[in-house]
Amino acid sequence: MKRIAILLLLSSACCFAEEVTLTRSAVMKADRSIVSLKAGTVVELLSRDEKNLTVRFGKNTGTIPVGSIAATAPGAVAEVKKPVPPPATPAAPPRPAETNYGRAVEKAKENAAKHEKNLVRPSDEVLQ
């Protein structure tokens, strides 16, 4: 009779686990596994510590950082840090062609540019 009462008490305690939604991605560390949880995932909160939360996701039970579910105040504005672009360096001049194929390609580009320059466009004559 005592065993049934204890089992009943334990099963009812498991039903009272609070379901929380993660606000940030987290890595849940269990005994023999690591599970990556994305933001918005619903997990069962089993217990809290100062730094960690014990949660259950599916069949796995493990710990995640407290900051994963910490909600910000409604009026608080999060600071967004913009990445600093690296200083611009001048582009290196193109190397001259070293092979016959490379020289042929350069000559073809030069000839195409000359051809485009020599083309007569009707719109050019009208605008002048």
In CATH, what number is assigned to the domain containing residue 48?
A: 2.30.30
Instruction: Tell me if 46 is assigned to some domain.
Output: yes
Q: What is the pLDDT of residues 41-51, one digit of tens each?
A: 999 989 888 88
Nearest-angstrom CA–CA distance, 68 and 6? 33
Average pLDDT taken over every residue of the chain: 79
**What is the extent of the structural domain holding 22?**
17-68
Whether the CB-CB separation of 56 and 19 falls below 8 Å is answered with no
Give the pLDDT of residue 13: 52
Mean pLDDT of 15-39: 87
Q: How many domains does the chain have?
A: 1
In a domain, 125, yes or no: no
Residue 22: what residue type? L
In a domain, 109, yes or no: no
